[in-house]
Structure 1
Amino acid sequence: MNLINKKVTHKLFGMGSIVKQNDSIIEIHFASENKMFVFPDAFEKHLKLQDKSDASSLDKIIQKREMERKEVEWKKEEERKQQRKKLELRLEHEKLMKHHKLHPESQMVFWCDMEEQNHAFSEWNVFSGAIKSGNNKGKPNKPSRLHQNSAVLLTAIDASKPEKDRRILGVYMVNEDFIGKLCEDGNVPAHSKYKLQLTEQESDQLLFWKYYMNKKSPQTMSWNTGKYRYFDNLWMAQILLDIVSLKSDPKERELAQQFFKHFCKMNQITEQELPKPNGALMHS
């Protein structure tokens, strides 16, 4: 907006005329001397344009500038809030890591439909589902037992087959820095290295109920409801050990062996003391 030669009034210096102008400074010639002012800030307090049309246009510029300033301030405040939140989460993460106690059933078995199978093995991630009732209905389930010692077992069952034929499709350790108690979106991402997918032939030989057992009803093989359930750390170790023996490809077998050793270390399990599988299939 060009204000050169425009007439202004100053509360102290009286009438004047604008003789110079740039994006941040204007110079005004008054009867006694020339004065420099910050532009457009001075028009908010000390100066007034004589021409009403010019004054209205300038007011719009000032209002727009003020809105932009407030937006910048708001963004800065949001960044500060995000930084504070990240710091709080990091401190909470460190506290949980320091004081974490192994839960004997901190493994997750997941029931995959066809779409979830494709997603699980392309993205190496599962969603724990939504809460069905109560105050938090619709919010993601928080897999609170899962920690860095946890693995996720992916299973499926053909629609025409009974529950006892549920197959194991694959398995992965959770991401290196994953803590279920801090998981807000229900997504459980995989470890960068420890993740295994079984071939269809391998999967047919690895039935879930060989390992899993409802301790209150040892012979019962029913899933009932829910996308996932927790299960015993020892059972996961048994599954991983059997995957090692199933893998014929040298590279895959080596990864499976490393996975098993890593899992046992994280869960304080000794391979020599690992019991044989004793799931519901062994009692049927």
Structure 2
Amino acid sequence: MNLINKKVTHKRFGMGSIVKHNDSSIEIHFASENKMFVFPDVFGKHLKLHDKSDAKSLEGIIQKKEIERKEEEWKKEEEKKLQRKKLILRLEHEKLMKNHKLHPESQMVFWCDTEEQNSSFSEWKVFSGAIKSGNNKGRPNKPIRLHPNSAVLLTAVDSGMHEKDRRILGVYMVNEDFIGKLCEDGNIPAHSKYRLQLTEQESDQLLLWEYYVNEKSPDKMTWNTGKYRYFDNLWMAQILLDIVSLKSDPNERELAQQFLKHFCKMNQITAQELPKPNGALMRLRR
């Protein structure tokens, strides 16, 4: 919009003529001097165009600017709300971590169905499943024992095989700021670094029930319901130690060693003092 030489009237400075303007400022020549103003904000209350057609076009520009200004204010307010929410979560997180005591069974073994065997590794997260009954039926399970010291073990049973043949597919530490009590959507995301996927050959050599045992029924290897179970921190350390031995690729072996070291530090475990695996399968073979 070209406003050069257009006549205007200012409440204080009287009549003038526009000599220069751009998207953010306008310069007007009055009888005694030139004045600079913010464009188009100065129009409306303080400054009026004489030309009615130009005034109408300018009104449209002002309305557009006002809409943009309100949208910007809304965005800033939403950002403030988001930051306040993040602060509240961070303070709650710090409070929980300050009072957190290591649970001896704060690891998770997860049952992957056929679809999840792919999605768990492409997305590096699992879903804890929905509550089956009660007032909270349909809402996601809260994995309340999981904290930054926790790892998730991904497992599956091949079609036609028995539960005792459940293979370990991979493992990951939960995200470093994850707290199960605060998990509303049931998604359990992986740590950005500590995540391992096994090859099919490696997985065939790593069976869950060599490490896992139900102490209430030590001679049984069954998994009837539920997407996950909690299990012993020491068992997870045993599994990670054996994964280190299985890895032949130097880079993957190095990551597995770093994973084991980090896990043991987070769970106050000394890797050199780990007992041998004594799961249900190991007891059965004796």
TM superposition score normalised by structure 1: 0.77
Aligned pair count?
A: 278
- Are the counterparts in 1 of residues 148 and 178 from structure 2 also a CA contact under 8 Å? yes
- Are the counterparts in 2 of residues 210 and 281 from structure 1 also a CA contact under 8 Å? yes
Residue identity matched to 1:160: G
Distance change (3 Å), C-alpha of 1:130 and 1:50: farther
Distance change (3 Å), C-alpha of 1:241 and 1:135: same
Distance change (3 Å), C-alpha of 1:248 and 1:188: closer
- Are the counterparts in 2 of residues 244 and 253 from structure 1 also a CA contact under 8 Å? yes
Is 2:248 aligned against 1:249? yes
- Are the counterparts in 2 of residues 171 and 195 from structure 1 also a CA contact under 8 Å? yes
- Are the counterparts in 2 of residues 25 and 37 from structure 1 also a CA contact under 8 Å? yes
Q: Output aligned runs, 1:189-208, within 5 Å.
A: 189-190=190-191, 192=193, 194-208=194-208
Residue of structure 1 equivalent to 2:160? 160
Instruction: Provide Cα deviations, 1:248-271, integer angstroms capped at 9, x if missing partner.
Output: 738466655554454333223355
How far apart, in 1, do the equivalents of 2:18 and 2:261 lie?
81
User: What are structure 2's unaligned runs of at least 5 residues?
Assistant: none
Instruction: Provide Cα deviations, 1:229-258, integer angstroms capped at 9, x if missing partner.
Output: 22222322333344455x273846665555
Q: Secondary structure at the match of 1:3?
A: coil
How far apart, in 1, do the equivalents of 2:257 and 2:8 lie?
84
- Give the drift of 1:158: 1.0
- Give the drift of 1:135: 7.4
Residue of structure 2 equivalent to 1:143? 143
How far apart, in 2, do the equivalents of 1:163 and 1:72 lie?
58
Distance change (3 Å), C-alpha of 1:41 and 1:198: closer
Q: Output aligned runs, 1:4-43, within 5 Å.
A: 4-10=4-10, 16-23=15-22, 24-27=25-28, 29=30, 36=35, 38=37, 39-43=39-43
Q: Secondary structure at the match of 1:72?
A: helix
Distance change (3 Å), C-alpha of 1:50 and 1:110: same
How far apart, in 1, do the equivalents of 2:34 and 2:192 lie?
67
Residue identity matched to 2:55: A
How far apart, in 1, do the equivalents of 2:20 and 2:48 lie?
15
Residue of structure 1 equivalent to 2:189? 188
User: What are structure 1's unaligned runs of at least 5 residues?
Assistant: none
How far apart, in 2, do the equivalents of 1:179 and 1:115 lie?
26
Residue of structure 1 equivalent to 2:67? 67
Q: Secondary structure at the match of 1:145?
A: coil
Instruction: Provide Cα deviations, 1:109-150, integer angstroms capped at 9, x if missing partner.
Output: 112234433343455x12224535677776655433222221
Q: Output aligned runs, 1:1-284, within 5 Å.
A: 1-10=1-10, 16-23=15-22, 24-27=25-28, 29=30, 36=35, 38=37, 39-122=39-122, 125-132=124-131, 141-183=141-183, 186-190=187-191, 192=193, 194-244=194-244, 247=246, 249=248, 251=250, 256=256, 259-270=259-270, 271-272=272-273, 274=275, 276-279=277-280, 282=283
TM superposition score normalised by structure 2: 0.77
Residue identity matched to 1:36: K
How far apart, in 1, do the equivalents of 2:26 and 2:4 lie?
12
Instruction: Provide Cα deviations, 1:211-238, integer angstroms capped at 9, x if missing partner.
Output: 3333444444332333322222232233
Distance change (3 Å), C-alpha of 1:105 and 1:2: same
Q: Secondary structure at the match of 2:74?
A: helix
How far apart, in 2, do the equivalents of 1:108 and 1:85 lie?
29
Instruction: Provide Cα deviations, 1:25-47, integer angstroms capped at 9, x if missing partner.
Output: 242546xx567362332322133
- Are the counterparts in 2 of residues 116 and 126 from structure 1 also a CA contact under 8 Å? no
Distance change (3 Å), C-alpha of 1:48 and 1:109: same
How far apart, in 1, do the equivalents of 2:157 and 2:180 lie?
27
Q: Secondary structure at the match of 1:76?
A: helix
Instruction: Provide Cα deviations, 1:61-82, integer angstroms capped at 9, x if missing partner.
Output: 1111112222222333333333
How far apart, in 2, do the equivalents of 1:233 and 1:49 lie?
77
Instruction: Provide Cα deviations, 1:83-109, integer angstroms capped at 9, x if missing partner.
Output: 334444443333333332111221011
Instruction: Provide Cα deviations, 1:38-63, integer angstroms capped at 9, x if missing partner.
Output: 23323221333343322211110111
Residue identity matched to 1:74: W
Q: Secondary structure at the match of 1:212?
A: coil
Residue identity matched to 1:203: S
